[in-house]
Amino acid sequence: MERWTFLILAAPDGSASQIRMFLRSSDEPADWPVLQVGVDGSEVPVDDVTKDYEAPEWKALQLFTAGGGTEQGWESLKERLRQAAHEPA
């Protein structure tokens, strides 16, 4: 069973602006594949901005698609993290 974490990052006005996605692939958080995207689907560098909240996948996907991202794009991002989890360290 895959274990995912979706952190929602807020814009200055408090609205959701970015999503940081982790595939919890081991017991060591430093080893988890991670990426960060704007709610519009654009990939952005992973940063250390404090999360606004952790969301279940359905809510993160809802924010992503409402912002202009697509379900196909979402699945593509998840697949990239799956591949990264299986690459040798």
Nearest to 40 by CA among 6, 13, 74, 79: 74
For residue 1, pLDDT over 80 is answered with: no
Higher pLDDT, 49 or 1: 49
12-26, 52-66, 75-89 — which is least confidently predicted? 75-89
This prediction has a pTM of 0.92
pLDDT digits 0-9 by tens, 49-79? 999 999 999 999 999 999 999 999 999 999 9
Instruction: Report pLDDT for 89.
Output: 60
* % of the chain beyond a pLDDT of 70: 98
Query: Above 90 in pLDDT, residue 43?
Result: yes
Residue 4: what are its φ and ψ, rounded to 5°? -115, 150
How confident is residue 86, by pLDDT bands cut at 50, 70 and 90?
confident
